[in-house]
Amino acid sequence: MPDRSHQRRRVSPVDFHTRLDEASAASGSGLCIGLDPDPARFPPTIGQRREAIATFCRAIVEATADLACAFKPQIAHFAAQRAEDQLEEVCAAIRDLAPHAVLILDAKRGDIGSTAEHYATEAFERYGAHAVTVNPYLGTDAALPLLERGGVIALCRTSNPGAGELQDRDLEGRPLYVAVAEMVAEQWSQHGQCALVVGATVPDQLSRVRSSAPALPVLIPGVGAQGGDLNASVLAGRSETAPGAAGVIVSSSRQVLYASDGPDFATAARAEAERMHRELTAALAS
Amino acid sequence: MPDRSHQRRRVSPVDFHTRLDEASAASGSGLCIGLDPDPARFPPTIGQRREAIATFCRAIVEATADLACAFKPQIAHFAAQRAEDQLEEVCAAIRDLAPHAVLILDAKRGDIGSTAEHYATEAFERYGAHAVTVNPYLGTDAALPLLERGGVIALCRTSNPGAGELQDRDLEGRPLYVAVAEMVAEQWSQHGQCALVVGATVPDQLSRVRSSAPALPVLIPGVGAQGGDLNASVLAGRSETAPGAAGVIVSSSRQVLYASDGPDFATAARAEAERMHRELTAALAS
């Protein structure tokens, strides 16, 4: 196996919020493009093979670089295809083709401290991410090794249909997801730079998170394929005191990646990203 | 990159509890050896290099195969070293050298359903695991793709010092970790075969989980380096109605792996595993 240690980068943990501010200004909005590569959906011109993952993702990044505030590769899609080497390539391509953008590794990691150290190495050194998504269930001490080495985006209220089964239940006077928002705002933020994940499918919960954690940026997945409403999400999630474009990072994956299944997939992805960028800019200006 | 599709295996989801019963009988206890390879701690004879990970793990598996009910590779330790190919080798070695044992991929995954499908492919096909550890925060629907394809071991009450920050707080009349035990016992178990993770550091919480979920096996990490007490864990965690050795799978990683830092590391690991096996057998018989 070749040594690619030269590709590894250590990212300063103080970079995340500043970088988000600069990326929002440079791109003109808080649009995040999620990279969930699925070879079965690649156009025949690229080839529906695992070997084409990096080529496909690179074409998407190239076509949308100026419009994107952030790129968010989803690691499971690479791991299922034995394509960690291609994920390294894609991360390098994001840093190269969109040097203004925030690189978010969507990994939803969470483990005890000694193991979290290794997840921090994976996210911030191996893949050179600026921020990583993290599961809050283990509490503050388990998040510390990640907080000390890069941006941490904690799952708060997720976008899946059954998310409320635990997250919406009452924990000592507030829903569990609000307790998580408070823990991240009050505890985690003392040790590093954070954000929260709240799905676009639940604007009411997003408003509630906004009241509990006004200074934290919110990453909002679930627009598009999952049915979330972009305008309602921006109205519920905006905060003038949070970093970035009014504190909202709105993420779309499948709707951009698979806008066309033909040879024009990159052009179609750009058109879809442009449409979302306009919609997002209008919502932010309203 | 070579095609190793021949190494992939699809494991039937009905196998986990039966396999755990058989593995407990074959090995004579519920001892689980955690594989958390850290090249800096390898003996000089093996070489303190990432390339030595598979050699080191294979030697541990070979030395302890007959004593172990389960082997539990911890994926972060491989990911931080860019050693997924070696994790594939180690998993193949476990199935080959310890064909009776349960192969648990310790990955603590958790994501929305469409992504959970990819994590299921990673755990059960790519690595050929019989069970995978899963974070419960996203609820039942996010766990379904995993439950349908293999054993699922849900984090319930973890062993880290700050685990109680969320997990011990009151959720509608019970601690959050008890609500998780109930959700897994009542909901997840309808769709597949489950177990719960409860740290050896918290025997009181383990007793409480036992009352709420008497039929589920409990995976107990935290014996050894983290300070958990084996005997107290077995007393608190045993259940005659759960699969396996009275429903307890007691896991030790660093205490076995690094029992010696000399050329006798495998012999020393076996001696430590034998000591734990005796202690566990005595606790189960008491």
Q: Is A180 helix (H, G, I), strand (E, B) or coil?
A: helix
Report whether A154 contacts A196 (CB < 8 A). yes
Instruction: Give Cβ neighbours of residue A77 (< 8 Å, ≥ 6 apart).
Output: A35, A36, A37, A38, B115, B118
Smallest CA–CA distance, residue B286 to chain A, in Å, is 31
Interface touch B136/A183, C-beta < 8 Å:
no
ipTM of the complex: 0.94
B-chain CB neighbours of A138 within 8 Å are 155, 158, 160, 162-163
Would you say residue A50 has pLDDT above 90?
yes
- Pairwise CA distance, residues B253 & B36, whole Å: 6
CA torsion angle for A156, A162, A166, A172 (degrees, to 10)? 70
Interface touch B118/A179, C-beta < 8 Å:
no
- pLDDT band at residue B222 under the 50/70/90 scheme: confident
| DSSP label at residue A259 | S
Helices B230-237 and B203-212 pack at an angle, to 10 degrees, of 20
| DSSP label at residue B112 | -
Interface touch B142/A158, C-beta < 8 Å:
yes
Strands A194-198, A248-252: pairing kind: unpaired
B-chain CB neighbours of A171 within 8 Å are 166, 169-171, 176
Report whether A181 contacts A207 (CB < 8 A). no
- Pairwise CA distance, residues B239 & B233, whole Å: 12
What's the pLDDT tens digit per position in B60-98? 999 999 999 999 999 999 999 999 999 999 999 999 999
What's the pLDDT tens digit per position in A92-103? 999 999 999 999
Backbone angles phi, psi at B202, to 5 degrees: -135, 70
Q: How far is the CA of B107 from the CAs of A273, B119, B124, B240, in angstroms?
A: 33, 9, 12, 28
Q: Where are the beta strands (DSSP E) in B8-99?
A: 31-35, 70-73
HSE-up of residue A178 (Cα within 13 Å, Cβ side): 17
Q: Where are the beta strands (DSSP E) in A158-213?
A: 170-171, 174-175, 194-198
A87 to chain B, any CB pair closer than 8 A? The answer is no
Interface touch A163/B85, C-beta < 8 Å:
no
- pLDDT band at residue B9 under the 50/70/90 scheme: very low
DSSP B120-172: HIIIIIIS--SEEEE-GGG-HHHHHHHHTTSEEEEEEE--STTTHHHHTSEET
Domain ranges of chain A: 5-285
A-chain CB neighbours of B117 within 8 Å are 80
Would you say residue A286 has pLDDT above 90?
no
What's the pLDDT tens digit per position in B183-196? 999 999 999 999 99
Q: Which residue has the tokens 């992805």?
A: A269
A with B: how many residue pairs have Cβ under 8 Å apart?
Answer: 168
B-chain CB neighbours of A122 within 8 Å are 76, 79-80
Would you say residue A56 has pLDDT above 50?
yes
What's the pLDDT tens digit per position in B260-278? 999 999 999 999 999 999 9
Q: Is B263 helix (H, G, I), strand (E, B) or coil?
A: coil
Q: Which active-site residues of B does the annotation give?
A: 108
Partner-chain residue, chosen from A74, A115, A122, that has the shortest CB–CB distance to B115 = A74
Q: Which has the closest alpha carbon to A147: A102, A116, A101? A: A116
- Pairwise CA distance, residues A34 & B101, whole Å: 39
Chain A segment 133-152 residues within 8 A of B by beta carbon are: 135-142
Tell me which H or E stretch contains A23.
helix A15-27
Q: Where are the beta strands (DSSP E) in chain B?
A: 31-35, 70-73, 102-109, 131-134, 151-157, 170-171, 174-175, 194-198, 218-220, 248-252
The residue of chain A nearest to residue B4, with distances taken between CA atoms, is A82
Interface touch A110/B165, C-beta < 8 Å:
no
Smallest CA–CA distance, residue B162 to chain A, in Å, is 6
HSE-up of residue A261 (Cα within 13 Å, Cβ side): 8
Report whether B166 contacts A183 (CB < 8 A). yes
Q: Which residue has the tokens 């193949």?
A: B92
B-chain CB neighbours of A146 within 8 Å are none
Would you say residue B4 has pLDDT above 70?
no
Partner-chain residue, chosen from B80, B113, B183, that has the shortest CB–CB distance to A166 = B183
Q: Which of B6, B115, B119 to mutate to probe the A interface, most A CBs <10 Å?
A: B115
Which string of b and e fits A118-131 if b means at least 16 CB within 10 Å?
bbbbbbbbbbbbbb
What is the residue-averaged pLDDT of chain A? 94
Q: Which of B51, B53, B121, B166 to mutate to probe the A interface, most A CBs <10 Å?
A: B166
Give the pair of three-digit tokens for residue B12: 């039937």
Smallest CA–CA distance, residue A178 to chain B, in Å, is 12
Would you say residue A10 has pLDDT above 60?
no
- Pairwise CA distance, residues B35 & B57, whole Å: 7
High-pLDDT (> 70) share of chain B, %: 95
- Homologous superfamily, domain B5-285: Aldolase class I (3.20.20.70)
Chain B segment 167-226 residues within 8 A of A by beta carbon are: 167, 169-172, 176, 179-180, 183, 187, 226
